[in-house]
Amino acid sequence: MKKFLINIAIFFAIVAVVDFSLGKVFYWLQSTKAKGRTHTEYYVCNDLKEDILIMGSSRASHHYVAQMIADSLGMDGCYNGGQDGNGIVLQYGRWKMISKHHLPKVIIYDIEPAFDLVLDDNVRYIDRLKPFADDKDVNSYITNLYKTERLKLESRMYRYNYKFLEFASDCVRSSDVNYGYIPNKKNISREMIKMEHSPDMVIIDPIDNVKIDCLKKFINEAGNKGIKVILVSSPYWKGHVDYDLSVIKKMAAEEGVPFIDFATSEIRENSDWFADSMHLNEEGAKVFTRDLCYRIKAYL
Amino acid sequence: MTFNSFIFWLVFPCIFIVYWALPDRVGGGSLCKEEIRPRNWFLILASYLLYANWKPAYTLILLAITLLTYFGARYIEAKEGYRKWGIIFTFATLTLVPLLVFKYYHFVNESVWSLLSSCGLRYELRGLNWAIPVGISFYTFQALGYLFDVYYKKEKAEKSFIDYALFVCFFPQIFSGPISKAGELLPQIKEKRVFKYEQGVQGLKLLLWGMFLKLVMADRLGLYVDKVVADYAMYSGPTCVLSAIFYSLQIYGDFAGYSLMAVGVAKLMGFDLINNFKRPYFSVSITDFWRRWHISLSRWLKDYVYIPMGGSRCSKLRNYWNIFVTFLVSGIWHGANWTYIVWGIIHGVAQIIEKALGLNNKETKGVWRFVRIVVTFAIVTLAWVFFRMPTLGDAVAYVGHSFSGFGIPEVLSVTNFAIYVMAIAIVLFKETREEFFPTKFCFLNNRYVRWAEYVVIFCLILLCGALDSGSFIYGSF
């Protein structure tokens, strides 16, 4: 038994050395070498300088043309920090890092019910925060949500699980010239256009209180620092289901922030402006951004 | 609590330490005449607590099945004469009641409703909104196997209830097998256990490899498969074919990974369980496949369904019928859905055809062997489509869609795809070596190379594994 336990201890000692070394390499890749989304992520959390910040899911990253917004609103730059497959649980964690080094004048938060309202296991939304777990606030935010993460985060390899491949592949990408905005070049498929639209509005029930709590805290904290927060529900294609966003409307009214809903926008009618039922393509994004800037001016 | 959960890995070292710190037996001397086995008591306690961690109330079902089969076997042994058949039938049926109610009630209810409504009658029984107890098919079959062994006089009825309770609830195998036979496990429960270094090391190796199969190969491939299956009409035919192949590898990684972890954990506690898999995708026929895939279930079905029906010692037609029924039972065992039944039928029919053509036991070499491996893999993959899809209609549509169009399959995510390729290459190398070149690549046996392998595999699990991915496919059976 003694030999067995000693060998296990040696094994974990070797793993700990490898873990520490790889952690250093991955951090170096992430912070200095990577471009593309890895750079966007790191830049938003640590180096953001712009006056306007876009937050939300992939719909945010594909819909908001950062340069157009900055030009149209006459502010000192706009950066799009939307993240595929994520919502407020991730973005609130990022906000904790952003607020330490830079306070934008305006934050536009794109609401996506699937990531901001629907009750599900939020553990996947904290995944992209794990590489930033050396930040005390991020670490406590993660461990408050999931107690067992405290132990897991001791491993650097765990923090960079899967993401290290993205960092590596982002090292050979060209630099971002769109300030985080990702133009979607696709067009909606013919099969999707033929699909019948359900006239019923989807009521989200039950609602995830963790997400609502994060959203409220984010609005309050940003508001207390003098930042104008604007909630937006950007357009879906008309064939996509309609969500009942009364919860968001009510919350926006309670918190005193504007909520701009594109549920009845004419943009929804034109399939040429969509890449799929949820995402605008490049042309659609320009039309939407123009319309949005026009509406936002009323609140600034 | 499954082996891939973080909590298990916090709890298991404590179980391991306490278990080996306890004396194997106390008493039996002049002060205390009755001998007590603290380690067995502790294993029962740990097994029940781990099971209760999911739904505490369901431990009562586990206990009920244990009591029923324990006393049933003793009663069967005590009885002689023609009534014995009636007794085994009664106890076997009672043992199967929880499984039938929890697993098949909905299926029977819905099937009857569909049948009646097609005749214009609309009558539906109330639905049961209960979750299926984890591992119920496994421990029910294990207990039932023991009951049959006593009935056929292959085993003597166990006298010690504690030993028998541990046989049924032993935590490494309760959630997804392997299904042990009383003749294999009960003697190990009874004998004095001492920690053996080699057995412990072997256990850790199996654990590590099982984790790799599950977390790096199966769960990563599952991301691709889930995406395509959920919306298969939107993907090209070649993408659907690739997804079906990936599912074959996913379910192998998932189930073989779990089984290896179960065997590994058992070894660390001083037990040797049956190896459930033997490189099944190198099978040259479906008959061969079932000698290598889920070996403990195949053996159970052979011993308690196929052979009692007459096995192969009967007419050809009767033999074909026995094969068909055995695989029908296998399909039904897997789940209450027509898709599982069709899956079982495909395997049954394929074996009947092989037997009729004399391909079931034919030795082959060279290119012909390779061709047969590919054909067997294709049939197994086709059957897995039925296993994976939610309805028969979806399965048929998926197969039809897979044959539409040509081209290169979609990658979906380059980074994920890189992990699939890496994981499949590692598994393929290891299994090819074991299957075809067991005496080659001797440098891999060098101590330092082996240690390097372990560290690399462990690091790959941490770096590429789909951690916190949740349950095992077979955990729901």
- Residues B455, A18: C-beta atoms closer than 8 Å: yes
Task: Please identify among residues 142-171 of chain B the ones whose CB lies closer than 8 Å to any CB of chain A.
Answer: none
Contact: B233, A3; criterion CB under 8 Å? no
For the segment B28-57, the average pLDDT, to the nearest whole number, is 86
Q: Give the residue from B194, B210, B238 where a domain finishes.
A: B194
Answer yes or no: is B307 within a domain.
Answer: no
Domain identity same for B71 and B145? yes
Name the strands in the sheet holding A52-55, side by side, starting at the edge strand that comes first in the sequence. A78-80, A52-55, A106-110, A228-233, A259-261
**Distance from A158 to chain B by nearest Cα, in Å?**
5
Q: Give ipTM to 2 decimals.
A: 0.85
Return the minimum-mean-pLDDT range out of A256-260, B60-64, B131-135, B285-289: B131-135
Pair B159, B75 in one domain: yes
Residues of B carrying an active site annotation: 334
Size of interface A-B (CB pairs under 8 A): 62
Residue whose entry in the numeric block shows the structure tokens 């504007």:
A258
The verdict on A193 touching B (C-beta cutoff 8 Å) is no
Verify that B72 and B115 share a domain, yes or no: yes
Does B278 reside within a domain?
yes
Asked whether the beta carbons of residue B459 and residue A189 sit closer than 8 angstroms, the reply is no
CA atoms B295, B300, B301, B306: torsion sign:
positive
- Whether residue A271 lies within 8 A of chain B, CB to CB, comes out as no
* Chain A residues touching residue B18 (CB < 8 angstroms): none
Residue B277 pLDDT > 90: yes
Which residues are within 8 A (CB) of B471 and not within 5 positions of it... i.e. 6 or more apart? Answer: B2
Do residues B279 and B387 both lie within one domain?
A: yes
Q: What is the pTM of this model?
A: 0.88
What domains appear along chain A, each with residue ranges and CATH number? 14-299 (3.40.50.1110)
Question: Which residue in the set A4, A15, A148 is minimally distant from B6, CB to CB?
Answer: A148
Interface of A with B in 11-30 (CB under 8 A): 11, 14-15, 18-19, 22
Band (B376; pLDDT cuts 50, 70, 90):
very high
Contact list, B467 vs chain A (CB under 8 Å): 158, 161
**Residues B142 and B154 grouped into a single domain:** yes
Inside any domain, residue B339: no
Give the model confidence (pLDDT) of B379-419 as tens digits: 999 999 999 999 999 999 999 999 887 888 887 788 888 99
Residue B289 lies in a domain: no
Average pLDDT, chain A: 92
Question: Is there a domain that residue B42 lies in?
Answer: yes
Question: To which residue do tokens 């960092």 refer?
Answer: A167
Q: Which of B201, B233, B455 sits opposite A14 (nearest CB)?
A: B455
For residues B42 and B172, membership in a common domain is answered with yes
Taking only the tens place, the pLDDT of each residue in B185-244 is 999 999 999 999 999 999 999 999 999 999 999 999 998 999 999 988 888 899 999 999
Write out the two tokens for A18. Answer: 């490898």
Residues B147 and B277 in one domain: no
pLDDT at residue A262, as a whole number = 93
The answer to the question of residue B97 being in a domain is yes
Q: B468: which chain A residues are within 8 Å (Cβ-Cβ)?
A: 123
Q: Are residues B44 and B139 in the same domain?
A: yes
Q: Among all residues of chain A, which has the CA nearest to that of B457?
A: A15
Instruction: Assess whether B45 and B143 both reside in one domain.
Output: yes
Q: Is the minimum CB–CB distance between B45 and chain A shorter than 8 Å?
A: no
CA distance B227 to chain A (A): 14
**pLDDT, position B26:** 84
Element (H, E) at A171: none
Q: Which residue of A has its CA nearest to B195?
A: A1
Residues 6+ apart with CB under 8 A from A290: A68, A72
Query: In 3-state terms, what secondary structure has residue A202?
Result: strand
Q: What is the pLDDT of residue B190?
A: 93
B-contacting residues in A 108-167 (Cβ below 8 Å): 123, 148, 151-152, 155, 157-158, 160-162, 164-166
Residue B207 and residue B276 in one domain: yes
Give residue A161's identity as a one-letter amino acid code. N
Q: How far is B181 from chain A (nearest CA, A)?
A: 29
| Average pLDDT of the residues of chain B | 90
Nearest CA in chain B to A123: B468
pLDDT above 80 for B122 = no
Tell me the per-residue pLDDT of B67-87, one tens digit each, with 9 for 90 and over. Answer: 999 999 999 998 876 678 889
Residue at a domain's end among B170, B194, B218: B194
Asked if residue B209 lies in contact with residue B260, where contact means CB atoms within 8 angstroms, the answer is yes
Which residue's structure tokens are 């033929």?
A194
Q: B346 with B382: CB under 8 angstroms?
A: yes
* Alpha carbons B477 and B475: distance in angstroms, whole number: 6
* Burial label, A274 (beta-carbon count in 10 A; 0-12, 13-18, 19+): buried
- Examine the fold and report which residue of B171, B194, B217 is the final residue of a domain before the chain moves on: B194
The residue range of the domain holding B368 is 198-284+364-464
Of B7, B455, B467, the CB nearest to A161: B467
pLDDT digits (tens, 9 = 90+) for A132-184: 999 999 999 999 999 989 999 999 999 999 889 888 888 887 776 799 999 99
CA-based nearest residue in chain A for residue B463: A161
Q: Which of B10, B234, B462 sits opposite A157 (nearest CB)?
A: B462
| Residue at B203 is within a domain | yes
The residue among B418, B406, B411, B385 whose CA lies nearest residue B229 is: B385
Query: How many Å apart are CA A291 and CA A281, to the nearest integer?
Result: 15
The answer on B441 and B397 residing in a single domain is yes
Domain total in chain B = 2
Q: Which residues of B touch A4 (CB under 8 A)?
A: 195, 197, 200-201
Whether B255 and B159 share a structural domain: no
Q: How confident is the model at residue A191 (pLDDT cuts 50, 70, 90)?
A: confident
Residue pair A101/A46 in contact (Cβ under 8 Å)? The answer is yes
In a domain, B305, yes or no: no
Cβ contact, residue pair A161, B234, below 8 Å: no
Confirm or reject contact between B201 and chain A (CB < 8 A): yes
